[in-house]
Chain A
Amino acid sequence: MIIITDTPLDPNQFTEAVKGTAHGAVITFLGTTREETAGKKVLYLEYESYDPMASEKLHELCDEIRQKWAVKDIAIGHRVGKLEIGEISLVVALSSAHRNEAFESCIYLVDRLKETVPIWKKEVFEDGEIWVDAH
């Protein structure tokens, strides 16, 4: 399941999507918006994606993960549009038979997502704004 949406993400929806009786481990990772960058107060954030390339790249990433690890199911949600501080920008849920595959593949997935998926983040400060690393 891959969802890119401008409405709030519900982590439970993603966790439930990957849970199963054959899976001993489920990891749900949340990326949330920070109130500060390099000591500067962030007022709010804006995320922009290139659809459908972003969805396609997320699907490719899931295929890559499945080739490398014995992962059962993967669900990814990415928020776009305007986000307030403390909101969830990213949800990654994945399941595997044992915990090691789940932890390792989740770290890899989030790292690669930052490099290959065309989603951008703008931080808006009191005295200006800047497009930065999307996550």
Chain B
Amino acid sequence: MITFQILLFAGDREKMKSHSVEIAVSETATIGNLAEKLNQEYPSIFPRPEGLVFAVNRDYATFDQPISETDEIAIIPPVSGGYL
């Protein structure tokens, strides 16, 4: 397992009362796996994992993108209201 410190902003940061959240996933995990894990561990804060938008190393990422230990991962809340 690898533990990722996922950066949080705006409403997500306020709801989690933290600038980041730790999520552990397998070595072969993708962004989609991270989204599912976030939903399992914090269902009230991330009720729709399929609507989450992530950035990996400061670039928008797709759900099938693999992630590795040194990646900087962030959840990008909607900038125009409502999850995508």
Contact = CB atoms under 8 A, between A and B. Distances in A.
B58 A56 contact: yes
Interface string B24-53: 000000000000000000000000000000
B74 A114 contact: no
Q: Which of A48, A53, A116 has the most CB of B within 10 A?
A: A53
A119 interface: yes
A22 B10 CA distance: 42
A105 B9 CA distance: 29
A72 interface: no
Contacts of B9: 48, 50, 118, 120
Contacts, number: 41
Interface in A29-81: 48, 50, 52-53, 56
B79 A114 contact: yes
A50 B77 CA distance: 11
A23 interface: no
B76 interface: yes
A131 B55 contact: no
A48 to B, nearest CB: 6
B81 A118 contact: no
A115 interface: yes
Contacts of A117: 79
10 contacts: A50-B7, A53-B55, A53-B58, A115-B80, A117-B79, A118-B9, A119-B79, A122-B10, A131-B10, A133-B81
Interface of A: 48, 50, 52-53, 56, 114-120, 122, 131-134
Interface of B: 7, 9-11, 13, 55, 58-60, 74, 76-77, 79-81
